[in-house]
Amino acid sequence: MTISVGDTIPDVKLVKATDNGPEQVQASEYFKGRKVALFSVPGAFTPTCSARHLPGYVEKAADLKAKGVDEIACTAVNDAFVMGAWNKDAGSDEITMLADGNGEFAQATGLTMDGSGFGLGQRGQRYSMIVEDGVVKELNVEQPGDFSVSSAEHMLGQL
């Protein structure tokens, strides 16, 4: 079953990429008591993700926070080391990288995709959501190959 607006974020472990190395976080604690702009990409360092998706959130971070977002987070079915390296290469301190190395978060939300044809295996779909106190308030899932409704610009229009 795919997560919907009004649902609570699944309580699985994610791994936060930090300067001190990987840090496990429980989703229920991470999202508790704040507004988080979460976006998901099929993979760090992949073309659309690196050229458009992450840069849009880096560019619009101050605007999102000015509209009440407490934290901006990116998730992908990658390990914390890859997510941390990607953030250092193309991201910003304004973006928190939440690694979903085993795809448990993607599976629990029902937002997976099969990238086997490209050698990627099972991944998370491209989407964005606004999560308030652990509850999904907005959910924007892209059609395969598209990039529009999960962008920072689209999210700004929803806030």
At 138-153, the pLDDT tens digits run 999 999 888 899 999 9
The CATH number covering residue 142 comes to: 3.40.30.10
Query: Per the domain annotation, does 6 fall within a domain?
Result: no
Enclosing domain of residue 100 = 13-158
Cα dihedral value 62, 157, 138, 27, nearest 10: -10
Query: Per the domain annotation, does 4 fall within a domain?
Result: no
Ordered alpha helix ranges (H), 14-146: 27-31, 47-48, 54-66, 80-90, 104-109
Q: Of 27, 49, 61, 69, which is the active-site residue?
A: 49
The answer to whether residue 74 is catalytic is no
At 51-102, the pLDDT tens digits run 778 999 999 999 999 999 999 999 999 999 999 999 998 888 999 999 999 9
